[in-house]
Amino acid sequence: MKQLEFNNGNYLSRPETLALPARIAPSFVFYSNFFSIIYKASRKAKRGKYGDTEWYESSYDVFHILEKIGVRFHITGFEHFLNVEGPCIVIGNHMSMMETVILPIILRSDKRLTFVVKESLLSYPVFKHVMRSREPIAVTRTNPRQDLKVVMEQGVETLVQGISIVVFPQTTRSITFDPAQMSSIGVKLAKKAGVPIIPLALQTSAWSNGKLIKDLGKIDAAKDVYIAFDAPISVKGKGGEEHQMIIEFIQAKLQEWNKMSRYPVS
């Protein structure tokens, strides 16, 4: 099976010798391949033949194409996810479409996985078949009370089945990180289900949000991608302290990466 090669929980992309098309039109090269991958995956999903293995392989193919056009990935702390026994909840910031399509291959392990996603993703042409096959937990992102009820009910059922959940608690994805936009819905689910949280920090602005179609923005291969996992957190009280720990981890990582980047994000 296709998988990434980690070294003590870390991954760093190897330098690539870029072909001429990748150098002059990285977005075109990426999307021409990306749409092909999604189309093939959708056909399998419609036939009921798109399981975990196929999902991981599609994610790997997208990840590999990004590297082929020059995007470099820096992933650290993955051992924290691997060392958790049983299902867990991964809670992180949401910057671009990139994390939705590459996290499956990064998080590939003996754990099964799904996402909390916005309902509209289940209606996207072609892509909807892939998302529905993953049995995600769908929320409106406009009705917090309804979303909380859905996540609490379906989330607990999912975790009981041994399936880990990725949650992006921001009301919408954004290139900047505003802690006020981070709800505590993932922390509340972890408390109710009695499972640990793995904090996740992401800097994926290499895949920008588009002006006409938000999911399909420019790919800037000059921007490195940074992904970091932190040690598991168990919710012991009401969850406020744990929620703040997640926010502080994300803020610290973004500040660290901005100092390293030629293209800092506030």
CATH 3.40.1130 fits 11-260, yes or no: yes
Higher-confidence position of 143 and 81: 81
Q: Mind giving me the DSSP string for 131-173?
A: HHHT--EEE-SS-HHHHHHHHHHHHHHHHHTTEEEEE--BSS-
Identify whether the C-beta of residue 75 lies closer than 8 Å to the C-beta of residue 11. yes
Cβ atoms of 144 and 183 within 8 Å: the answer is yes
Q: Is the pLDDT of residue 262 over 70?
A: no
Q: Quick one: tokens of 227? A: 């992904």
Structure confidence at residue 265 (pLDDT): 55
What was the pLDDT predicted at 28?
95
Is the pLDDT at 160 greater than 80? The verdict is yes
Q: Which residues lie below 8 Å from residue 207, measured CB to CB, with a gap of 6+?
A: 96, 97, 98, 217, 219
Condensed to tens digits (0 to 9), the pLDDT of residues 242-254 reads 999 999 999 999 9
Q: Could you tell me the residue ranges of all domains in the chain?
A: 11-260
Give residue-wise pLDDT tens across range 59-114: 999 999 999 999 999 999 999 999 999 999 999 999 888 999 999 999 987 789 99
Q: Give the number of other CB atoms < 10 A from CB of residue 122.
A: 14
User: In 10 A of CB 4, how many CB atoms?
Assistant: 17
Summarised one tens digit per residue, pLDDT across range 115-126 is 998 887 777 777
